Chain A
Amino acid sequence: MKPQNYSERRGRWIPIMLVAPLVAFIGVTFIAPLGSMLKESVYDAEVANTLPGTVALLTQTWDRESLPSEEIYRKLASELIERSTEDRSVIGKVANRVNRLVPGTRSVWGKTARKLKNIEASDFRATLIDIDDRWEELELWHGIRQAGQKFSSRNYLHALDLEVSDEGNVVRVEEEKRAYVTLYLRTFYVAVTVTILCLLLGYPIANAIANASPTVSKILLILVLIPFWTSLLARTSSWIVLLQGQGVINDILVAIGWVQDDQRLSLMYNMFGTLVAMTQILLPFMVLPIYSVLNSMPPSYMRAAASLGANPIQAFTRVYWPQSLPGVYAGSLLVFILALGYYITPALVGGTKGQLISNMIAYHINNNNWGLGAAISMIVLVSVMLLYLLFDRWIGINKLKLS
């Protein structure tokens, strides 16, 4: 009995051991970064840790309507001197955090920390205001108080063009500062349109590949795959060569006389260029899943439909199309999600309308505002997950087929 038990136990462990590297891999490369991104978007302790006393006093004793008391000014001055002698770089980090909330206050910090060291002060409020009159602005103090909260939703509010008003209500920011909502909407619009275009173009191609003779289907498949293997930037640049004012397409149209030389068509630096280039780049992701589903469908089904009296349209809509749906779902989901994250192609060919939400994520990550970048990413991620859940609810995720 014993050896059998042992081998049984061993048998149970082997699959778990085999999966362990995968679980570890997903944990390290997917779950952990996602978790730290989530944390980054709501948690920032830089100001709270550098100026703990000031932040505590501001939260507890300040009435938020008049200038803070002398006690708070004194606390801030002493913490500034203390921290900047330990490590001057922490003041720079505080300055960046507060400047994000109150633009135009960054230089106050370094200047004040430098000058305070050489001053024996008794009235700290007067001294600080004397060093820089921005210490007299209520907005700056509001900024310090807000930045001092370790956990906050400000990145999410910011990423949705919202802010907390002085009365404490959540309101939309002034119209000329609303940068993000338009970008989410445009990103979703582009992704949906590209998905539809890819489906309209990709389905007939996949159908042709699946039903052609082996030689022809191999050639067609290669034609789909070669662009797929070509660098994204090379393909984008090729579209620029084709679409621009002095480009190949316009040159041909002018040469055959369809277009006047001084009225060349604007085919790029607008939404048209973005849609054309992205559709071409993402097309293989639509063609391949549909092809693999169509390829495994026995041709006898269509013959059966015909022999039972269906005309070609009926045979297609009632037999062929429903069976190809798993491939259509898989291709659409792939193209849609990839299109959401695109930004190099739209930035190069899209002109004024070429900026999508990913551009802003990249900007904030490069400019050390990881919190805001993370918040925007999370909003996109959650919207995609919601769409996925809706898809599962209406259609069922088990209907998805990649091969």
Chain B
Amino acid sequence: MVSVTFHDRLIRFVAVSKHWVFLILTTFLFSTQAEELTVVSWGGSYAKACKDGYIDPFATESGVKVHLADYNGGLAQVRAQVESGNVHWDVIDVETQDLILGCDEGLFEPLTILDLPQGLDGSDPSIDFLPGALTECGVATLVGAGVIAYNSESFESGPPSTIEDFFDLDRYPGKRGMRRTPIVNLEWALIASGVAVTDVYDVLSSVDGLKSAFDKLDTIKDSIVFWEAGAQPPQLLADQEVVMTSAYNGRIFNAQVVEEQPFVIIWDAHARDYGHWAIISGSTKTSIAEKFIQYAARSESLAAVANRISYAPSRKSSWELVGKHIEMDVNMREHMPTHPENSKRHFTINSEWWAEYKDDLTERFSAWVSQ
């Protein structure tokens, strides 16, 4: 009796489970057929520009299935994956500061042998990319800028035009929006007190220089409204909560062009930073990941992004391909940080310097805010 029921059960079990085995086997077979790559970026309209600009074309051309994931910056997740040995991200879009820290700590693969494509005009990558764009662990594909922007409705006559005006409460009274971080704000404070853009970090490194930066910030302290997320500044301007605010140039561009807000960017003393692609250490797909970065770093790919959102290509030869916005009747060149009209006075955020002083100055900034 017992053996019969057992036998029955066994047969039923096999009969049911063979479907499962078949299903699991087929999914396994199909999933290994196409190569896959997990690409991590910032989400929103920027990630969409990259997806339409070169990620989808890369997938079609190479047959690699690309999964696009979002993150909010920082190295916490990357570090957790690398240290646990369970790496499920392959390629990641990182800020310069995180690239430097991650490269030093072995979180990113060195890209020393990466064979980057030549420029559109045949020029060698080493001279076609802007200075500082090619580093040990990353390839920069775009240039973004921290800028001051204002709502033209707040100024009927004689709007502000320089970084000095941002710190001038007498001529331009009203609240100022500012990101709650010392980064860029200390640089702007120094430039507004007369330090040349090229000397900013030398002066900041000295005790007196740092003090004069905080003294300058003190002059507008009571008028500051702090923001945390990049989406806030356009909102602050639209609600006229502030008359001027620091912001990311791409966000203001979106508000100007897509939402038709009367915002104006003050390009004077804008703070440039690169966005880099890097490969996470321990990724099992480094060769596909390298192919992806090679594709993403082509002159055409960079221009494809620049024609969708106002982040400038990091290669000189891409400039020729930057023209009208892909949907709107907008000339993209004049919205780029690297346009000659916009870059009369500017500086590149010194991420090496900030990697050394960020913790210390964030505490000091926070102490200053609290006093």
Contact = CB atoms under 8 A, between A and B. Distances in A.
B226 A107 contact: no
Contact of B105 (A92, A269, A352, A363): A92
Contacts of B105: 89, 92-93, 96
Nearest to B75: A368
A183 B364 CA distance: 13
B356 A106 contact: yes
A105 B225 CA distance: 33
B357 interface: yes
B56 interface: no
B369 A107 contact: no
A361 to B, nearest CB: 12
A186 B362 CA distance: 18
A244 B370 contact: no
A104 B205 contact: yes
A85 interface: no
Among A105, A176, A183, A352, residue most surrounded by chain B Cβ atoms (within 10 Å): A352
Nearest to A370: B76
Given A87-B106, A92-B105, A246-B241, A176 B367 contact: yes
Given A92-B104, A348-B228, A368-B76, A178 B367 contact: yes
A347 B363 contact: no
Contact of A367 (B352, B359, B369, B371): B359
Contact of B356 (A87, A99, A182, A363): A99
A354 interface: yes
B226 A103 contact: no
Given A179-B367, A179-B370, A365-B76, A347 B358 contact: no
A145 to B, nearest CB: 19
Interface string A23-37: 000000000000000
Contacts of A359: 366
Given A107-B356, A352-B224, A369-B359, A245 B106 contact: no
A333 to B, nearest CB: 27
B10 interface: no
Contacts of B202: none
Interface in B200-221: 205, 214, 221
Nearest to A348: B228
A202 B318 CA distance: 63
Contacts of A351: 224-226
A118 to B, nearest CB: 17
B356 A355 contact: no
B104 A95 contact: yes
Contacts of A366: 74, 76
Contacts of B79: 368
Q: In the complex, which range does the number of interface residues on chain B fall in?
A: 35 or more
Interface in B320-371: 352, 355-364, 366-371
B240 interface: yes
Contacts of B358: 367
Given A103-B356, A103-B357, A182-B370, A177 B363 contact: yes
A182 B357 CA distance: 22
A352 B371 CA distance: 9
B170 interface: no
B240 A245 contact: yes
B360 A103 contact: yes
B180 interface: yes
A244 B241 contact: yes
Contacts of A106: 355-356
Interface in B76-100: 76, 79
A355 B20 CA distance: 55
B240 A246 contact: yes
B156 interface: no
A24 to B, nearest CB: 22
B76 to A, nearest CB: 6
A64 interface: no
Contacts of B260: none
Given A103-B356, A103-B359, A103-B360, A354 B214 contact: no
Interface in B161-193: 180
Contacts of A39: none
B239 interface: yes
A86 to B, nearest CB: 11
Nearest to B181: A363
Interface in A237-276: 244-247, 269
Nearest to B102: A92
Contact of B363 (A87, A91, A105, A179): A179
A107 B352 contact: yes
A266 to B, nearest CB: 9
Interface string B255-293: 000000000000000000000000000000000000000
Contact of A354 (B76, B226, B241): B226
Interface in A204-252: 244-247
B20 to A, nearest CB: 29
Contacts of A369: 359
A106 B369 CA distance: 26
A28 to B, nearest CB: 17
B245 to A, nearest CB: 13
Interface string A105-126: 1110010000000000000000
A346 to B, nearest CB: 11
12 contacts: A92-B106, A93-B105, A103-B359, A103-B361, A106-B356, A183-B370, A245-B240, A352-B226, A354-B226, A355-B180, A363-B362, A368-B79
Interface of A: 87-89, 91-93, 95-96, 99-100, 103-107, 110, 176-179, 182-183, 186, 244-247, 269, 347-348, 351-355, 359-360, 363, 365-369
Given A99-B359, A347-B180, 14 more contacts: A89-B107, A176-B214, A176-B367, A176-B368, A179-B363, A179-B370, A182-B367, A245-B239, A351-B225, A352-B226, A355-B180, A368-B79, A368-B101, A369-B359
Q: A-B pairs with the 3 shortest C-beta distances?
A: A89-B106, A92-B104, A103-B360
